[in-house]
Structure 1
Amino acid sequence: MDTLELDLSNSHRIVSRKSDAGAYNNAYFLLALLSCFLFPFASIFFIILYIRSEKHSSVGLAILVGLCSGAIAYGVNTTLMADIDRYTNSLPIFRETSFWDLLSIKGVYSSVGSHGYNLFAWIVSRFNDDHLLRSAVTATFYSVLAFIVDDYAALQGWSFRRTCAALLISVAISPFFNVLSYAKSTPAFSLLLLALYLDFRKRTGPVVLILLYAFAASTHSSVLPVIALRVVLLFVKNEIAIYGISLALLPLSNILSAALPASFRTIPVLSLFVSALDKFSVYSEFSDWGWAAASQHSVLLMGYRYYFGAIAVFCILLVFRRYDVSKSGLLVFSGIWSALCIAVSVFFAADVFFRYAMPCSTLFVLAALSHKDDAVNLYIDIALAIIAVIGFVVQWAYLASVVDMSCFILHGLFGV
């Protein structure tokens, strides 16, 4: 009888602990959720507490991080005309357009062939607050980043500190303003990154994957080279050959663009791929492109080009050194994508490389923190710390040069 009572008492304590943990999870989630709207910067503290709780959800974390980043982005008022301002100015066109007319919409920064973005912008325009576009764009990137990092950390059994380090480094690397400003490419590459993660982790069925890849491509055609490399990887198992294809992207695109007949540009779906090839040829030239010519000698732009180039080389070395990374197809692909980033940063004009480098940097962080070679652990951790500090300092200086910081900080602190 005493034994039975003891067992019942122990089981009651176990159930009590689980319920207490669940209560803490819910409390931290609600506190973070409320602070996202009231005190955006303070929500970061509650999000960290939520991560620390025993049984938090990766989806829940993605929601919180997305809302937090979106709320912070809402306080961004640019002091210079940026891409996000041009996209924002085009929202009235979507507001006056019915859902059934989206396929034929034409206007500022919206054209046929970007149906994914047209739908995205149309949904945002329904809220009658054009400033929400920057929030929605930012939320897509950081929510996907948070989900992938946390889900991967859970599968690998990472500690709380390692998980937080992965999140913070990933956030520090990608400049917040570029994430916010690229209204088309940021959602497109976010969807692509999510599709690749679910694809390699075997977390969903083929129908969902095809829809994610298709919607990403219809949002911005610049994701097509990455999708093409994923398809090539299905048939070509020689990694060196795939790296060669990644690095030779520019000459290959120029040759194909010139060789394809004009009739291909009018065929549905196929015209999307041909258009992407044509754009890559344009991206490699500075003539007749005002922004590219103006930014050609930008010190900040060149600095970021070398910064992301160094990260890409580091990622490739990690993959080839095989610190248990080769066991994961996702991290092997991170090396292939990094090679593409190098090709884009070397051959393509202006800030095109940001589109590829920012989402790829998340995979780089996972690859770097997946190493298990004790002989180099310290050196890799030091390198990651240096990369994170440089990224954080530079992106804040960059943000201060293009944003009204007093308004930004007040909004982040008090939600005003």
Structure 2
Amino acid sequence: MPNRLTVADRIIIHLSNYTKYLESYDVSIDISQDGIAAGLRISRAHATIELKKLKENGYVTEKQSHIKKGKTRRKVYFLTPKGEERVAEILKYVKENEIDLSRYQDIRKCKGPDLWDSLDEKFKPIIAMASVFRKPFSRDVLPDISVSLLPVDEKGMVDLPQEIKEYVLSVTETNRIEDYHNFAADYWLHCDDIKEVLYHLVMAKRFNDAEILLYNHAAELMLSPDDELFETVSNIRDMTPGYSDVVHYVQAEMARRIGRAEYCLILTKMMEASSIPSERFKGYLIEGKLHMDHEEYHLAYRSFIRARGVFDDHMDTNIECCVAESLLKNEDIHEAQEILMRLVSQGFKDYDDEARAYYLLGTIAIKTGDDDEALRMFTISRRAMIKRQSEILTTLSNENFSAGMRSKAIEYALMADECTLNLPAVEPSKTRK
């Protein structure tokens, strides 16, 4: 017997990990023909032949079982009592011959170096391509090979263990990794996953494309800030003048939202020194919000006033609401009310600003003991929020209709109509411009 394990022995060792699931209703896809082939990194045809022999020799039995997270029943394999006895013999042989069993294990259980060393050179690029993905992805997008190299779930998705990904990328050439990130960016663009597209563009050092993506999808990305996204946008380098204000804004605002106050403050100071007015404005605005987060209301007021001064030829309703709120937090009710009433008198172009202004007026009314006025202000604020929701749903309806998704377009249109029907009865004191 050669100093190595046969494919049949490897299948028996593989199945020995799943004996306890013999009577389970749901079983792992790993004990199907596809799962066994992927776990042992052999072709499905090879796995079929070996399983047939093992069954004929009484080492395995087959049955139809429901696959976990799947919708179908499939043929799966378990060891017989004779197969269990064979496991002990194989393990004894492994110990006596000092065979490293890890290199024969399921890819998800392998150590990175063991896996890499056991691979044929022509298969290493496939593993490297798979290693750049942070999320499960479709196996179909990778080159087709005869060997079931990657573990695939019931939905045809691949997700390698993080330890393997890190090792594989550490031994792969940098330019190859950038190529693979380009490939992944195109995949996620097709899937409409903007966050993953941005990540892979940055990792591929396609910073200009990342800037354009951020410019077009900043509002969407800011809805769900987290450490991963923050790290991605922080790694955008060599910014072009036309996009720097947007990139810096997202970097600073995301830092504020996830609690990176010091980094946020450094960025805002850099933005405030910019020659681009819009960037200076955003720098002061975010700095003011940061001070509001830390209840430093006098400092917030100062930052908002500086933002107001960047564009002194027109009134920005958002910054005026910020100034009013900082004054209100400092108990300067009279000046805050004057600012808000000026906004009401000129009307609003943005539903969000309208909702915020009337909410602040309602808060002032409570502080001054006018409960009826407070109720009226809060009702108008709620109307604006509902109109904003209706506006968003209408936009979604139009986008789906343009994309040919008529049923979705109708669904969003009906939701928008329902919002309108639920508008409170109280009318704003001023009409919208």
Please confirm whether the aligned pair reaches a TM-score higher than 0.5, indicating the same fold.
Answer: no
Of Structure 1 and Structure 2, which has the larger fraction of its residues in strand?
2
Of Structure 1 and Structure 2, which has the larger fraction of its residues in helix?
1
For normalisation by structure 1, the TM-score amounts to 0.29
Larger CA Rg, structure 1 vs 2:
2
For normalisation by structure 2, the TM-score amounts to 0.28
